[in-house]
Chains A and B, each alone.
Chain A
Amino acid sequence: SQTIHQWPATLVQPVGSPLSLECTVEGTSNPNLYWYRQAAGRGLQLLFYSVGIGQISSEVPQNLSASRPQDRQFILSSKKLLLSDSGFYLCAWISGSTPNEQFFGPGTRLTVL
Chain B
Amino acid sequence: AQSVAQPEDQVNVAEGNPLTVKCTYSVSGNPYLFWYVQYPNRGLQFLLKYITGDNLVKGSYGFEAEFNKSQTSFHLKKPSALVSDSALYFCAVRDMRSGYSTLTFGKGTMLLVSP
| Chain A residues packing against B (C-beta within 8 Å) | 6, 32, 34, 41-44, 46, 49, 51, 57, 88, 90, 92, 94, 99-107, 109
The reply to whether B44 and A104 form a contact with Cβ atoms under 8 Å apart is yes
The reply to whether B41 and A49 form a contact with Cβ atoms under 8 Å apart is no
Distance in angstroms between the alpha carbons of A104 and B49 in the assembled complex: 15
Distance in angstroms between the alpha carbons of A42 and B108 in the assembled complex: 6
Distance in angstroms between the alpha carbons of A11 and B94 in the assembled complex: 31
The reply to whether B43 and A90 form a contact with Cβ atoms under 8 Å apart is yes
How many whole Å from A38's CB to the nearest CB in chain B? 8
Segment touching A, from B20-28, B65-73, B96-104: B96-104
Q: Find chain A residues with CB under 8 A from B108 CB.
A: 42-43
Q: How many chain-B residues does the 8 Å CB contact rule pick out?
A: 23
Distance in angstroms between the alpha carbons of A92 and B49 in the assembled complex: 17
How many whole Å from B58's CB to the nearest CB in chain A? 16
The reply to whether B43 and A100 form a contact with Cβ atoms under 8 Å apart is no
Which 3 pairs between the two chains have the least Cβ-Cβ distance?
A: A104-B43, A43-B107, A104-B44
Contact of A43 among B32, B36, B41, B106 (CB under 8 A): B106
The reply to whether B43 and A102 form a contact with Cβ atoms under 8 Å apart is no
Contact of B42 among A43, A94, A101, A106 (CB under 8 A): A106
Q: Find chain B residues with CB under 8 A from A32 CB.
A: 100-101
Q: Give chain A's interface secondary structure class.
A: strand
Q: Find chain B residues with CB under 8 A from A42 CB.
A: 88, 107-108
Q: Find chain B residues with CB under 8 A from A103 CB.
A: 46
The reply to whether B102 and A34 form a contact with Cβ atoms under 8 Å apart is yes
What are 12 A-B interface contacts by the 8 Å CB criterion? Answer: A34-B102, A42-B107, A42-B108, A43-B105, A43-B106, A43-B107, A43-B108, A88-B41, A90-B44, A100-B32, A102-B102, A104-B44
